[in-house]
């Protein structure tokens, strides 16, 4: 019960981080948002380390570092597949695969066993993910094989993050998360550095590589994504104010995402089955949709309301699983 409650809270936190990242990506490049969020999350985790603690066990350090690599892979594939589109198909595919991979691992590799209600709750959760992640108004067309393959790959990489973090011992505390964020910040920060250098070699100002492009995606450091479906437009801000707001939102994204990672870790270590925790955490699009409705006054489509309702049902069923 506790693990399920923590997983649902973590899902909302991931959705909130993605919402903030989506707003930041209107002002800064998506990869810049991701790198900044990774860095701010690392700072928060470092500040919390004296309180939450953890042992620097070699195996757990490596598990954490590997999870940082999978996060970077997930982000890269996510950007690529959503750029190809259609987002309305590839977004739910990524979300569902990100849940299925750790579910399969938990049930068939780790040997987890659920009650009948728990087993029935898993497909309900997967249907809820599809409905909530679906983008109403997007043109629905058949995705290319390449786009579908990258969406599946991104989902597998996100799922790998869950599996790798689940391998860590309780004695390691938040050390795996510190390593995850450090590696992710190093990879994404290096990419941003290369973009700045490339811009300067073209005779442009380095800062031009930081501002928002036409990329429709922002992602949190763990690989989750917020699709830029929000319609609000920034028109009255000056350029400096816009960039300042972008940095603030990106930093906030990283802080909230780091909190979500801590909650995920607590859920897994409170005797939570990986299958249940991953299925509930993959409902993170619900958090983004709800915040878009509350903050941006966006309308929640009927299909998404159905997904939110199913998410509550799945949460109750998996809590009993």
3-state SS string for the chain: CHHHHHHHHHHHHHHHHHHHHHHHCCCECHHHHHHHHHHHHHHHHHHHHHHHCCCCCHHHHHHHHHHHHHHHHHHHHHHHHHHHCCHHHHHHHHHHHHHHHHHHHHHHHCCCCCCHHHHHHHHHHHHHHHHHHCCCCCCCCCCCHHHHHHHHHHHHHHHHHHHHHHCCCHHHCCHHHHHHHHHHHHHHHHHHHHHHHHHHHCCCCHHHHCECCCCCEEECCCCCEEECCCCCCCCCCCHHHHHHHHHHHHHHHHHHHHHHHHHHHHHHHCCCCHHHHHHHHCCCHHHHHHHHHHHCCCCCCHHHHHHHHHHHHHHHHHHCC
Report whether pLDDT(234) > 50.
no
Burial of 89-119, coded b for 16+ CB within 10 Å and e otherwise, reads bbbbbbbbbbbbbbbebbbeeeebebeeebe
* pLDDT for res 231: 40
Count how many domains the chain has.
1
pLDDT averaged over every residue in the chain? 85
* pLDDT for res 298: 80
Average pLDDT over residues 249-263: 94
pLDDT tens-digit series, residues 215-225: 555 556 556 66
Report whether pLDDT(233) > 50.
no
Q: Shortest CA distance to 207 belongs to which of 242, 251, 254?
A: 242
Report whether pLDDT(92) > 50.
yes
* pLDDT for res 229: 45
Query: By mean pLDDT, which of 47-51, 176-180, 210-214, 312-316 is the weakest?
Result: 210-214
**Could you give the CA distance from residue 316 to residue 321 in angstroms, rounded to a whole number?**
9
Q: Domain containing 9: what range?
A: 2-319
* pLDDT for res 230: 42
* pLDDT for res 138: 59
* pLDDT for res 261: 95
Average pLDDT over residues 237-265: 87
Task: Say which residue, 223 or 177, is predicted with more confidence.
Answer: 177
* pLDDT for res 235: 45
Query: By mean pLDDT, which of 73-77, 88-92, 231-235, 236-240 is the weakest?
Result: 231-235
Burial of 29-41, coded b for 16+ CB within 10 Å and e otherwise, reads bbbbbbbbbbbbb
Average pLDDT over residues 54-69: 96
Report whether pLDDT(278) > 80.
yes
Task: Say which residue, 235 or 277, is predicted with more confidence.
Answer: 277
| pTM reported for the whole predicted model | 0.87
* pLDDT for res 139: 60
Provide Rg for the chain, Cα atoms.
19
Q: Shortest CA distance to 18 belongs to which of 249, 185, 195?
A: 249
Q: What are the distances in angstroms from CA 53 to CA 50, 158, 170?
A: 5, 25, 11
pLDDT tens-digit series, residues 94-152: 888 999 999 999 999 888 888 888 899 999 999 998 888 877 765 656 778 888 898 89
The separation between the first and the last C-alpha atoms of the chain, rounded to the nearest angstrom, is 9
């Amino acid at each position: 019960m506790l693990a399920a409650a923590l997983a649902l809270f973590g899902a909302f936190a991931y959705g909130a981080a993605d919402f903030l990242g989506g707003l930041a990506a209107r002002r800064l490049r998506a990869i810049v948002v991701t790198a900044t969020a990774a860095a701010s999350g690392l700072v928060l985790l470092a500040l919390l380390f004296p309180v939450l603690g953890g042992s620097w066990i070699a195996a757990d350090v490596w598990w954490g570092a590997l999870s940082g690599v999978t996060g970077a892979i997930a982000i890269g594939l996510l950007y690529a597949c959503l750029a190809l589109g259609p987002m309305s198909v590839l977004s739910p595919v990524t979300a569902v695969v990100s849940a299925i991979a750790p579910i399969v691992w938990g049930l068939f590799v780790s040997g987890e066993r659920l009650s009948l209600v728990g087993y029935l709750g898993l497909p309900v959760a997967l249907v809820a993910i599809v409905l909530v992640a679906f983008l109403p108004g997007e043109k629905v067309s058949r995705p290319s094989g390449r786009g579908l393959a990258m969406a599946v790959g991104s989902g597998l990489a996100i799922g790998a993050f869950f599996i790798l973090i689940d391998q860590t011992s309780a004695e390691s505390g938040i050390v795996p998360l510190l390593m995850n964020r450090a590696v992710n910040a190093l990879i994404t920060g290096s990419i941003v550095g290369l973009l700045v250098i490339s811009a300067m070699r073209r005779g442009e100002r380095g800062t031009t590589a930081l501002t928002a492009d036409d990329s429709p995606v922002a992602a949190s450091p763990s690989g989750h994504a917020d699709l830029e479906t929000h319609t609000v437009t920034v028109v009255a801000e000056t350029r400096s104010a816009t960039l300042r707001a972008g940095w603030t939102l990106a930093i906030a994204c990283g802080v909230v995402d780091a909190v979500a990672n801590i909650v995920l870790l607590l859920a897994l270590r409170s005797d939570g089955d990986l299958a249940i925790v991953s299925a509930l955490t993959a409902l993170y699009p619900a958090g983004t949709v709800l915040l878009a409705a509350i903050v941006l006054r966006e309308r929640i489509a009927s299909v998404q309301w159905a997904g939110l309702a199913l998410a509550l049902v799945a949460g109750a069923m998996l809590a009993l699983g």
